[in-house]
Chains A and B, each alone.
Chain A
Amino acid sequence: MWDAVTQFLTVPAMQAFVNGHDWVWPVCEMTHYVGMSLIVGIIGTLDLRILGLFRFIPVSALRPLIPWAVAGFIGNLLTGLVFMTGTNQGVTFYTDNLSFHLKTLFILLAIANLVVFRIAGLEKQVYATPAGADAPVAAKSIAALSLLSWVLTIFFGRLLMYNDTLLLLLGM
């Protein structure tokens, strides 16, 4: 099954395209950084508001910003796929990379966290929090986990290219 995944993500045409044009990789990186800033800036600010900062903002006022963060996330999924399928080191550079595994884990954790937030009905309560008021306590742990997950997603994402240093730390 793992073989099927690496097989699926091995796209010679994409490798040829990325290799043949020296601007593709840096442009995708820039786009990836823009998406990262949108996600962390917007979701991070929402998390901090739920945690009790910026009480002047009624929580629901942040809602119109969410689509911008979602757009950043979709952009990053797409550019991430370009990196995986386009690298001349082969997709196994990513699929065999501990930093990449950890990055993926924290993205999944952030998403699972969001699903719990919605299913538990916390989302409605949180968005009903007016200016000056405190969000429900249960939502605070979700917000803290979200903030931590996104920061660690960036951290391990940046570590990808320097995975050796992580392996050295772990004595692997």
Chain B
Amino acid sequence: MRWVGATAVLDYLQNLALANWVRTSPSIFAYTTVLAVHAVGLAIVVGVNTIIALRLLGVAKGIPLAGLRHLYGTVWFGFWINLASGILLFIAEANAMAAMVAYWAKLALVALGMIVAALLRRCYFDDVASVQAGVVTRVGRNLAIVSLACWYLALIVGRLTGYPDLVAGWLGMGGTGN
């Protein structure tokens, strides 16, 4: 999994002045604030996607389907916050993060969540006739379920990046976890 090129890139990122500052500064505005902001962004992305999915699954039917896609603006707000804070958190510990299966699994789940959101737009929200009629099609409901699965799995797996030894132990990869 490790080849020379990747190691060089990770070392380069981790030795950037910005990465060093995030990792080693005792200032509250370094690692601590970036981590806290990442948690706020997570709550926005997961929480608002939950509202959209729940509505499509029949909860809060009073929310007009025609306007529901406007909630994606807030999802994007949280997404950009987390892309920026996530890049900082990654470069701060590039080697350690890149070595974690949980980290790549989380990124994959986030990417999948975004693809599902795009599919929801194409396959459901752009289906003006159904949306205007207040009908949630089968594809809309199915995608809502997949969306919920992606975001909550991303949250769960993301939290696991804090426990590399535990995960390595579970995967039988010779971690120190019992």
Contacts and interface: CB of A to CB of B under 8 A. Distances in A.
Contacts, number: 130
Contacts of B32: 158-159, 162, 165-166
A28 B26 CA distance: 28
A168 to B, nearest CB: 6
A114 interface: no
Contacts of A60: 62
A92 B51 CA distance: 37
Given A29-B159, A45-B71, A36 B43 contact: yes
B174 interface: no
B27 interface: yes
Interface of A: 22-23, 26, 29-30, 33-34, 36-42, 44-45, 48, 54, 56-58, 60-65, 68, 131, 151, 154-159, 162, 164-166, 168-169
Interface of B: 26-28, 30-32, 35-37, 39-40, 42-44, 46-51, 54, 59-64, 66-67, 70-71, 74, 152, 155-156, 159-160, 162-163, 166, 169, 177-178
B129 to A, nearest CB: 19
Given A26-B163, A41-B48, A68-B50, 7 more contacts: A33-B155, A34-B155, A36-B39, A37-B46, A38-B47, A45-B74, A57-B63
Contact of B59 (A45, A65, A155, A168): A65
A68 B67 contact: no
Nearest to A36: B43
A40 to B, nearest CB: 4
Contact of A162 (B35, B37, B70): B35
Contact of B51 (A45, A157, A164): A45
Contacts of A34: 46, 152, 155
A112 to B, nearest CB: 21
B47 A41 contact: yes
Contacts of B35: 158, 162
A68 B74 CA distance: 19
B27 A165 contact: yes
Given A37-B50, A44-B47, A64 B59 contact: yes
Given A40-B44, A42-B47, A26 B160 contact: yes
A96 B35 CA distance: 22
A61 B63 CA distance: 5
A4 B159 CA distance: 34
A155 B33 CA distance: 8
27 contacts: A22-B169, A26-B166, A29-B159, A29-B162, A30-B155, A30-B159, A33-B39, A37-B50, A37-B155, A41-B44, A41-B49, A42-B51, A48-B74, A54-B67, A56-B67, A57-B67, A61-B62, A61-B64, A64-B60, A65-B51, A65-B60, A68-B50, A154-B39, A155-B37, A155-B39, A165-B30, A169-B27
A23 B32 CA distance: 24
A45 B60 contact: no
- Most A-side CB within 10 Å, residue of B27, B71, B169: B71
Residue among A23, A44, A169 with max Cβ neighbours from chain B (10 Å): A44
